[in-house]
Amino acid sequence: MEKTLLKNFDVPHSGNIDVYIAHGGYQAVNKALINFKPKQIIELIKNSGLRGRGGAGFPTGLKWELMPDDPDVTKYLVVNTDEGEPGTFKDRYLVEKDPHQVLEGVIITAYAVGAHRAFVYIRGEFFSGAKNWIKVIADAYERGFLGENILGTKFNLDVSVHRGAGAYICGEETALLESLEGKRGIPRLKPPYPSKVGLWAQPTLVHNVETLACVPHIILKGSEWFANIGTKESKGPKIFCVSGHVEKPGNYELPMGTTLREIIYEHAGGIKNGRKIKAIIPGGASTPMLTPEHLDVPMAFESLPKVGSMLGTGAVIVMDDNTCIVNAVTHLAKFFAHESCGKCAPCRIGTRTMMKLLGKIEAGKGRDEDIDLLLDLANSLRGTTFCPLGEASTNPVISSIKYFRDEYEYHIKKKQCMTTEVPISDKPESVAKILVVDDDPDFVEITRFILESNNYKVIGASNGSEGIAKAKEEEPDLIISDIMMSSVLDGLDMSWKMQEDEKLKHIPIIMVTSIANTDYASLFPTDQYIHVDEFLFKPVPPDKLLDAVKRMLSSKVSV
Ligand SMILES: Cc1cc2nc3c(=O)[nH]c(=O)nc-3n(C[C@H](O)[C@H](O)[C@H](O)COP(=O)(O)O)c2cc1C
Ligand code: SF4
């Protein structure tokens, strides 16, 4: 299939507005604003059959029609660039490689629904994506594609960028709106839906990046072109993100309805090292797992539910026959437990309990009854959580027990992993013991998650004195702390006190701090400290953290 959404990806500097225009860019905005009335565009999108690419697959044209058709009502458009679903990396790619394409979608969509203000909400960790958004918006203002009287019409549109702090729940549209309003990102009750009561209680359209990227192409090529691609209920091209044990992980633009077999074997180069497939997660971490018997299922909204899964974001995660399913699901459970916003009890408590039970089984400490307990618990979350995150957290658990119960039983009975045949007791316990000290429990938890996933043993403490007490008791190999804990310079104070203690003075420290605090570096008592200012935007970037940890543990002196 000829590429549409990814057509500019091999064009050098496609994010540059001149290059974009030279490749046909902004013709769709021109055509839409000059040749079409807003209602005609809504009709076009409805006829195309476009459905949202953010996970739920709601019909896009219908969503636009639900916005009030009253020019006196202030309406907003929000571009959801949160993309926190594990396995999903298409929106980031679109924004990094061809951002003007998405901005064209934003302008046309805002014009169609009568919104004069749009907000790009982007996840905190997407540094280059945020930089790109800011640049392309500025360039579009300069060329008259944004601002007042766009292309000489009466249509005005202002767009600005808002960076989130890296919470998965802030991708959920109502939690996103709370966050955009400056509040804690937790979901709102629906109904009312954002199209009626959204940002600052005004009608608001929230869209996924890929959905918006489809819009200019429908304007240029027509709704029939789009509707002729795909299956009966899933139209158009789709970007499938393929990751895991494949030869060529990456983003592949293919027609909706392409089979998993074609995606994995023809496009992603098959399974690494010629191994076999054990399991496939078809639509991002919150969709139920499938097995090789499902390889011929079309990747479409209507066909995946028939085999007990969902299209979700179209993020295909492939696991080969050497994968320990219990281990993989434990990792996913940790993700959901960490990302649960805590608003409702079933999810807040349920996700953590599932994580703990899985951890026990994974470590060979499970009891026979734990598998059914896990299933009971997972089922008790279904239909009882406030938003879909809670229910989504049960999908990997329930589907993996359905297909791989024997692996769970093996872990419990034999106290070893069926896949690797390595007795759990022989696995290295940990490569090092690390004490994480911070008054921000989220920081401690996410750092713990990253480190534990890499086989480090982690102990947490919430302030400097607790840190010293734990360091004496546990004798860690390394401490990760923050200079500015609740009492000013608590971390620095802890470091000085450690110098006075023979037992503690040789323990290296990674001091996480903000750029604004760099001057404090000179106040440190020894050279056993490393200052890492990149961690300003929490959560910590895993690669940077692991790199710093490895460097510090190997040298045990300053870096
Ligand atoms: C926990 C959770 C996380 C979500 N994260 C995202 C996200 O990162 N990006 C996104 O576009 N939609 C996400 N969604 C879906 C949004 O709530 C919403 O349906 C979507 O942005 C609508 O856009 P669309 O109609 O273009 O698909 C998430 C939903 C849930 C429940
Ligand atoms: S289901 Fe989980 S994420 Fe959703 S509101 Fe409840 S606690 Fe928050």
Are 90 and 210 within one domain?
yes
Question: Any idea what the CATH number is for the domain that residue 293 is in?
Answer: 3.10.20.600
Measured from the alpha carbon of residue 81, the closest ligand is 1
- Tell me, yes or no, whether 299 lies in a domain: yes
Are 377 and 481 within one domain?
no
> Measured in angstroms, how far is the CA atom of residue 222 from the centroid of ligand 1?
26
Are 384 and 297 within one domain?
no
316 vs 294: CA distance, rounded Å: 13
- Tell me, yes or no, whether 9 lies in a domain: no
DSSP state of 189: P
Q: How many domains does the chain have?
A: 4
Cβ–ligand 1 distance for 387 under 6 Å, the answer yes
- Tell me, yes or no, whether 5 lies in a domain: no
Question: Are the CB atoms for 54 and 208 separated by under 8 Å?
Answer: yes
84 vs 392: CA distance, rounded Å: 13
Cα 294 → chain centroid: 25
Low-confidence ranges of the chain (pLDDT < 50): 515-517, 534-538, 556-559
Are 447 and 499 within one domain?
yes
> Measured in angstroms, how far is the CA atom of residue 380 from the centroid of ligand 2?
14
From residue 72, alpha-carbon distances to 41, 69, 200, 332, 489 in Å are 20, 9, 16, 46, 52
Q: Between β-strands 237-244 and 250-255, what pairing exists: parallel, antiparallel or unpaired?
A: antiparallel
Cβ–ligand 1 distance for 229 under 6 Å, the answer no
- Tell me, yes or no, whether 2 lies in a domain: no
Q: Could you give the angle at which helices 90-97 and 99-113 cross, rounded to 10 degrees? A: 100
Question: Are the CB atoms for 325 and 319 separated by under 8 Å?
Answer: yes
- Tell me, yes or no, whether 198 lies in a domain: yes
Cβ–ligand 1 distance for 391 under 6 Å, the answer no
Are 182 and 246 within one domain?
no
Are 410 and 444 within one domain?
no
- Tell me, yes or no, whether 8 lies in a domain: no
Of 258, 293, 320, which one is at a domain's C-terminal end?
320
> Measured in angstroms, how far is the CA atom of residue 539 from the centroid of ligand 1?
21
Best probe residue, ligand 2, of 172, 178, 380, 386 (max atoms within 8 Å of C-beta): 386
Determine if the peptide bond prior to 203 is cis (ω within 30°).
Answer: no
Q: Output the residue whose Cα is nearest ligand 1's atom 2.
A: 172
State both tokens at 39. Answer: 């209602």
Of 381, 402, 426, which one is at a domain's C-terminal end?
426
pLDDT given for residue 537 in this prediction: 44
CB proximity list for 130: less than 8 A, separation 6 or greater: 122, 161, 163
Lining ligand 2 with CB less than 6 A are 169, 187, 340-344, 347-348, 385-387, 389-390
Nearest atom in ligand 2 to the alpha carbon of residue 390 is: 1
Determine if the peptide bond prior to 423 is cis (ω within 30°).
Answer: no
> Measured in angstroms, how far is the CA atom of residue 216 from the centroid of ligand 1?
21
Best probe residue, ligand 1, of 80, 180, 336, 394 (max atoms within 8 Å of C-beta): 80
Are 418 and 520 within one domain?
no
Rg of the Cα atoms in the chain: 25
> Measured in angstroms, how far is the CA atom of residue 64 from the centroid of ligand 1?
16
Question: Any idea what the CATH number is for the domain that residue 474 is in?
Answer: 3.40.50.2300
Task: Tell me which residue range forms the domain holding 135.
Answer: 17-227
Measured from the alpha carbon of residue 184, the closest ligand is 2
The helix or strand, by DSSP H or E, that contains position 159, with its residue range, turns out to be strand 158-163
Are 413 and 459 within one domain?
no
Best probe residue, ligand 2, of 85, 389, 391, 394 (max atoms within 8 Å of C-beta): 389
pLDDT given for residue 554 in this prediction: 72
Measured from the alpha carbon of residue 339, the closest ligand is 2
66 vs 528: CA distance, rounded Å: 60
Are 393 and 461 within one domain?
no
201 vs 74: CA distance, rounded Å: 10
> Measured in angstroms, how far is the CA atom of residue 195 from the centroid of ligand 1?
14
Q: Three-state DSSP class for 513?
A: coil
Q: Output the residue whose Cα is nearest ligand 1's atom 10.
A: 54
Question: Any idea what the CATH number is for the domain that residue 394 is in?
Answer: 1.20.1440.230
State both tokens at 401. Answer: 């027990």
Of 426, 461, 482, which one is at a domain's C-terminal end?
426
- Tell me, yes or no, whether 78 lies in a domain: yes
Are 269 and 400 within one domain?
no
Are 85 and 153 within one domain?
yes
pLDDT given for residue 555 in this prediction: 59
Question: Any idea what the CATH number is for the domain that residue 147 is in?
Answer: 3.40.50.11540
The helix or strand, by DSSP H or E, that contains position 469, with its residue range, turns out to be helix 464-474
- Tell me, yes or no, whether 369 lies in a domain: yes
Measured from the alpha carbon of residue 383, the closest ligand is 2
Are 316 and 329 within one domain?
no
Best probe residue, ligand 2, of 169, 173, 339 (max atoms within 8 Å of C-beta): 169
pLDDT given for residue 540 in this prediction: 59
